[in-house]
Amino acid sequence: MNDLRTAPLVGIVGCLLYLVVLGVPYLIVETTSAVGAYYASGALSPVFAAILALVTIIVLAAGREGRTDPSIAAGAGLVLGLFIVGLSLLWAATVPVSLVLGLSESTLIEHHRWVLVLAGVPVPVGAAWFARALGLF
């Protein structure tokens, strides 16, 4: 297995997973405005983390393909991944439970915010693995 190719791919797949999990409430909850209120109710909306995930895809893909310095891509991907997880955790911890429980009868939505945090974890893991494969630490 080539760690220099696989590691950034893990981060890229993590970003895509994060974006997919972010869109799940739109499929579960009947009213779109309720999902907007759900995402806006925490300290910082996870939409900011989604923007970082889109940037991270580009950064890690450029480092993987050698279009940018891989060590810079690995470092930037690690920092962006940590911000994705941190922003998601801050949002998940500050969303009112009453709002979450009022969204849908589905129990899936109750755990969605924590699943979103976990979906962001492969991003810094993949970037750290990429940095390790490059011999940066």
Q: What integer pLDDT is reported at residue 31 of this predicted model?
A: 85
- Indicate if the pLDDT at residue 103 is higher than 80: no
Half-sphere exposure of 68 (CA within 13 A, CB side): 13
Phi, psi dihedral angles at 26 (to 5 degrees): -65, -25
What is the residue whose two structure tokens read 């940066």? 136
What is the residue whose two structure tokens read 């810079």? 72
Out of 66-80, 91-105, 120-134, which region has the weakest mean confidence (pLDDT)?
91-105
Q: What integer pLDDT is reported at residue 28 of this predicted model?
A: 86
Q: What average pLDDT is seen over the chain?
A: 93
Out of 78-82, 106-110, 114-118, which region has the weakest mean confidence (pLDDT)?
106-110
Amino acid at 21: V
Q: How confident is the model at residue 110 (pLDDT cuts 50, 70, 90)?
A: confident
What is the residue whose two structure tokens read 């439970």? 97
Q: What is the mean pLDDT of residues 106-125?
A: 92
Q: What is the pLDDT of residues 7-57, one digit of tens each?
A: 999 999 999 999 999 999 998 888 888 899 999 999 999 999 999 999 999
Q: How confident is the model at residue 102 (pLDDT cuts 50, 70, 90)?
A: confident
Q: Which of 77, 81, 58 lies closest to 134 in space, CA to CA?
A: 77
Considering the entire predicted model, what is its pTM?
Answer: 0.94
Q: How far lies 56's CA from each of 20, 43, 59, 61, 128, in Å?
A: 15, 22, 5, 8, 13
Q: What is the mean pLDDT of residues 65-91?
A: 97
Paired tokens of 125:
């893991």
Half-sphere exposure of 54 (CA within 13 A, CB side): 6
Between CA 94 and CA 88 the distance in angstroms is 10
